[in-house]
Structure 1
């Protein structure tokens, strides 16, 4: 197997744009990937939770990966390919690799709530079979089960498991994973925008970010400053982005971020059922926050992470 490098910097968790009839807007998807690449992001993560992967068919999933991979030149494409069915996750991972993905993001099995032994077996089976760098994704609020620290540490010894997306909200747990994998080629990435700066402060290497879809330059500047040790500047940017970060999770992700991107003219706000468009109050809040950000220059934005 190939020795893979761990990930660092800012990797937006991309939305999947839809037409009003529910079909995928591939032109907007490609344009969005190119916009984010120009903004200086370090990678792109399509067909994850933010990309409404739960309501895409497998063929659509592959088409999204092909579109994003074909649209960009110099950034890695890390495709969401997880499932609560190991065989299905393996199939999606293999098809994503064939479609041009440079890496994989694998949510932990949801609903069936495996024990740690089953969780590790799930990830090792995919890592053994698909020779791409893979990030395991801990988001117990969506899956109903934490990836145990011991499981993450054990998986870090696999050549193809290069990272851990942390979205538990538990900084102590995140810090322990960082501490116990410091000698491995392994990255700990924030999966919660409000926790990105704290995660970087304890040794994390970057973020798979929702807010970076809307404010990629500011998000890259914040992460870049923290990774360079300039925490005064990183804190200023973190607090500047704070109200938008919170507003983007006022309703279920990706409802608010789709609305924010529509306000900015990047895509239409259409979502697939059972998700519904953002409420009027959320729309008004987002319009005000985006107007404020547009009218006030950030703290030295545009520095690459």
Structure 2
């Protein structure tokens, strides 16, 4: 098993599309290199932020391969979950075969298995695919919750290395940390706005939507919090607060793709049934990004740009 430290900021990457709706692999590779250069700990393509629900399996694997080929020094953790154990196993095998260093598996959605079924689902994939895997709990999308005792049962598996916490329930997340402290197991926030609270109760970082747009600030926030510089971490947390809220004002990844377009990173195109960000929210997003741009040098301790 390939081991790596699941600590820090892992952007949940968007998938850029060309005008004809096909995947824009050149822009995808450029984006992976941009994020790597910003100091992130790793990259997470083809999760829900990557519109995996609208990709064919071949497109899914091709995105993973492009990201793997684009970067040099950071792990690539491929989204490979499904509500079908057989399909999750297929996507996991294929993602690992093209070089994914790890896997992120959403819990089975819609069919809402019992906790025993969730355990069997994850163990089946972990038994068959020998790379580190992250259990992903996001009840708002799946319709079911992975209970802390279930995470504890999974954490002892050699290939189950972490947990992405997107329940919004800090008490539950804290309990997961408590129950897994004796294992080599990472707890990562799945909500950008809860990055600081999750780290404060013993979490290890974040799988981040905001990290696509403000990777340097997210890295600085996580580094400060993990290093015990809580005043600095709180300052960054509040600087990013308006953006964090706006990126979830409509269904993810609608706002973040608009933000990527505003920043000049991609076209912002979405696949149906997702629709463009409303004019009101886009205006608010532009204002928030302008404010972050205006305070970037001071916030990150950078030298003023030449001619500024």
Which bracket does the TM-score occupy, shorter chain normalised? Answer: over 0.9
Name the CA distance, whole Å, in 1 between partners of 2:150 and 2:183: 14
Q: Is 1:299 matched up with 2:283?
A: no
- 1:72 corresponds to: 71
Structure 1 residue 4, shift from structure 2 partner: 3.3
Whole-Å Cα distance in 2 between the matches of residues 191 and 6 of structure 1?
17
Identify the residue that residue 39 of structure 1 maps to in structure 2. Answer: 38
Partners of 1:136 and 1:115 lie apart in 2 by 16
The residue aligned with 1:201 is: 200
Note the C-alpha offset of 1:301.
5.5
Cα deviations across residues 202-248 of structure 1 (Å, max 9, x unaligned)? 00001000000000000000000000000000000000000000000
Residues 1:30 and 2:29 are matched in the alignment: yes
Structure-1 separation of matches of 2:89 and 2:301: 40
**Bigger relative contact order, structure 1 or 2 (CA pairs below 8 A, ≥6 apart):** 1
- Whether 1:143 aligns to 2:136 is no
SS in 2 for 1:158: coil
Structure 1 residue 299: Cα displacement: 2.7
Moved runs in structure 1, 4+ residues, more than 2 A?
Answer: 2-6, 297-302
Match of 2:109?
110
CA distance in 2, matches of 1:73, 1:242: 31
Deviation at 1:155, TM superposition (A): 0.4
Alpha-carbon separation, structure 2, partners of 1:9 and 1:92: 25
- Aligned alpha-carbon RMSD (Å): 1.0
Aligned to 1:232: 231
Cα distance, 1:300 vs. partner?
Answer: 3.1
The number of residues matched between the two structures is: 301
2:305 corresponds to: none
Superposed displacement of residue 295, structure 1: 1.0
| CA displacement at 1:269 relative to structure 2 | 1.2
Residue by residue, what CA displacement relative to the aligned partner does 1:97-129 show, whole Å, maximum 9, x if unpaired? 011100000000000000010000000000000
Structure 2 unaligned blocks of 5 or more: 303-308
| Structure-2 residue corresponding to 1:89 | 88
